Chain A
Amino acid sequence: GAGVSQSPSNKVTEKGKDVELRCDPISGHTALYWYRQSLGQGLEFLIYFQGNSAPDKSGLPSDRFSAERTGGSVSTLTIQRTQQEDSAVYLCASSTGGSYGQYFGPGTRLTVT
């Protein structure tokens, strides 16, 4: 079946601009996660959605970051007033529930110039 998809695959933006990253999870997966991975660094948790519950936003690094999930499916991660330190690969993952393994999309490589 289709895996997790993300768009765009690459995004280059100027410092101070806003960006939106999209994630389409595996059909039927109720849990959706956003992570980011900076060059040579580990995966950093950003936010978690489970069904209709309030999202766990504990990993968002600043109030410039926000995310929403519409209709329990597609999610959008928005970064406002981008900074150079926001440059990273943003990864989306989905799973059938919190206890189970997560399946990652191909990621969006964000470069802030």
Chain B
Amino acid sequence: QKEVEQNSGPLSVPEGAIASLNCTYSDRGSQSFFWYRQYSGKSPELIMSIYSNGDKEDGRFTAQLNKASQYVSLLIRDSQPSDSATYLCAVRSFQKLVFGTGTRLLVSP
């Protein structure tokens, strides 16, 4: 079992829709969770961090964490074509981040 699992996609949504990206992790003791956006040919960009159960909102982005289910999600409201990228879920394990392989999101105009 991989430590951090994501559906590779692509996830296709029309412009203006809500995109829902999901991630599960295996280390029940994990306390810090992050979402990164990576455009093709670029390095990952930190967009959200979440440490407590529940929802955390930042602009059009909402991160959701359920530690009992070992599940993290990212919602993108009013999706834009510029949101088309690969979204990486990362979970802190000791002092390093363990990354999922990412979900590719395609937002069509």
For residue A98, CB closer than 8 A to chain B, the reply is yes
Footprint of A on B, CB under 8 Å? 31-32, 34, 36, 42-46, 49, 51, 88, 92, 94-102
Cβ of A106: which chain B residues have Cβ within 8 Å of it? Answer: 42-43
CA distance A98 to B96 in the complex (A): 7
Contact of B99 among A43, A101, A105 (CB under 8 A): A43
Cβ of A50: which chain B residues have Cβ within 8 Å of it? Answer: 95
CA distance A104 to B42 in the complex (A): 10
Find out whether the CB atom of B99 lies under 8 angstroms from the CB atom of A103.
no
Given A99-B32, A104-B44, A106-B43; A42-B101 close (CB under 8 Å):
yes
Cβ of B100: which chain A residues have Cβ within 8 Å of it? Answer: 42
Contact of A102 among B46, B51, B94 (CB under 8 A): B46
Cβ of B99: which chain A residues have Cβ within 8 Å of it? Answer: 42-43
With an 8 Å Cβ cutoff, the count of chain A residues facing the other chain is 22
Cβ of B42: which chain A residues have Cβ within 8 Å of it? Answer: 106
Residue of A nearest to B31 (CB): A99
Given A43-B44, A105-B43, A106-B43; A48-B96 close (CB under 8 Å):
yes
For residue A56, CB closer than 8 A to chain B, the reply is yes
Smallest beta-carbon distance B76→chain A, Å: 18
Given A101-B49, A104-B44, A104-B45; A43-B96 close (CB under 8 Å):
no
For residue A59, CB closer than 8 A to chain B, the reply is yes
Find out whether the CB atom of B92 lies under 8 angstroms from the CB atom of A103.
no
Find out whether the CB atom of B95 lies under 8 angstroms from the CB atom of A98.
yes
Find out whether the CB atom of B98 lies under 8 angstroms from the CB atom of A45.
yes
